[in-house]
A and B are shown apart, each in its own frame.
Chain A
Amino acid sequence: GAVVSQHPSRVICKSGTSVKIECRSLDFQATTMFWYRQFPKQSLMLMATSNEGSKATYEQGVEKDKFLINHASLTLSTLTVTSAHPEDSSFYICSAIRTGSSYEQYFGPGTRLTVT
């Protein structure tokens, strides 16, 4: 199988601080990774597409200066929520596509962010 991990699984931070979330493909290389956000009782919303070695592509309405994405290797993408506020509290989920394939996205277990 293809395994994607996220770290941390849960994080609580104070308003105004920054939080970094890691997404790793453990047993495959992923040229492309995606970041989603899910608020309680809602569906997943795509935030951005992360491509190894290039700048991320953000969906409309997602602030690129607030949600910094770095995809420095074929197995790691990071999402940094800068100057977090309570409204950023959400479930952040990443997914990865195996390099050379395009049909199946492998999702991480998600990171629960709570901003107090």
Chain B
Amino acid sequence: DAKTTQPNSMESNEEEPVHLPCNHSTISGTDYIHWYRQLPSQGPEYVIHGLTSNVNNRMASLAIAEDRKSSTLILHRATLRDAAVYYCILRASYSGGGADGLTFGKGTHLIIQP
């Protein structure tokens, strides 16, 4: 699996935007970029994913560099409930079904200050 690199931790203030970077210089052309987050003592939850174009959903936005070697997860207005470990994960695309488990790196521990 292609490897991702994320900062160990980041700190932000409540109600401010947060930009979480992820480097994936060895990404292949068919790899999707997925983001999951894990709140303390809970299972991970899906945040967002994309391939080439920037993506928006109710939770966050995903900005993907033109060369796809890096991406940024954007939380537009962080709240205390966004404090979690955020994982950037690459997954190969599939056709006709089938799926693999996720390979989690160490992720970024996001700390939100009130």
On A, residues with C-beta under 8 Å from B are: 4, 6, 32, 34, 36, 43-46, 49, 59, 91, 93-95, 97, 100, 102-110, 112
Complex CA gap A103/B30 in Å reads 13
- B41 contacts A110, C-beta separation under 8 Å: yes
Please tell me the size bucket of the interface on B: 20 to 34
Please judge, given known A-B contacts A104-B46, A107-B44, whether A46 and B99 are in contact too, CB under 8 Å.
no
Please, could you name 28 A-B residue pairs with CB atoms under 8 Å apart, sorted by A?
A32-B99, A36-B104, A43-B104, A43-B105, A43-B106, A43-B107, A44-B38, A44-B44, A44-B102, A44-B104, A45-B104, A59-B101, A93-B44, A94-B43, A95-B102, A97-B99, A102-B94, A103-B34, A103-B49, A105-B46, A105-B99, A105-B102, A107-B36, A107-B44, A107-B45, A108-B43, A110-B41, A112-B41
Closest to A48 in B: B101
Complex CA gap A7/B80 in Å reads 28
Complex CA gap A102/B36 in Å reads 15
Please judge, given known A-B contacts A103-B32, A103-B49, whether A109 and B104 are in contact too, CB under 8 Å.
no
Q: Which A residues are CB-close (under 8 A) to B107? A: 43
- B42 contacts A110, C-beta separation under 8 Å: yes
* 8 nearest A-B residue pairs (beta carbon): A107-B43, A46-B101, A43-B104, A34-B101, A44-B104, A102-B94, A102-B99, A93-B43
Please judge, given known A-B contacts A95-B43, A105-B46, A110-B42, whether A36 and B106 are in contact too, CB under 8 Å.
no
Closest to A103 in B: B49
A59-B101, A97-B99 given; name 6 further pairs at CB < 8 Å. Answer: A45-B104, A94-B43, A102-B98, A103-B32, A104-B49, A107-B45
Complex CA gap A34/B102 in Å reads 9
- A102 contacts B104, C-beta separation under 8 Å: no
- A102 contacts B97, C-beta separation under 8 Å: yes
Complex CA gap A36/B87 in Å reads 15
Complex CA gap A50/B98 in Å reads 12
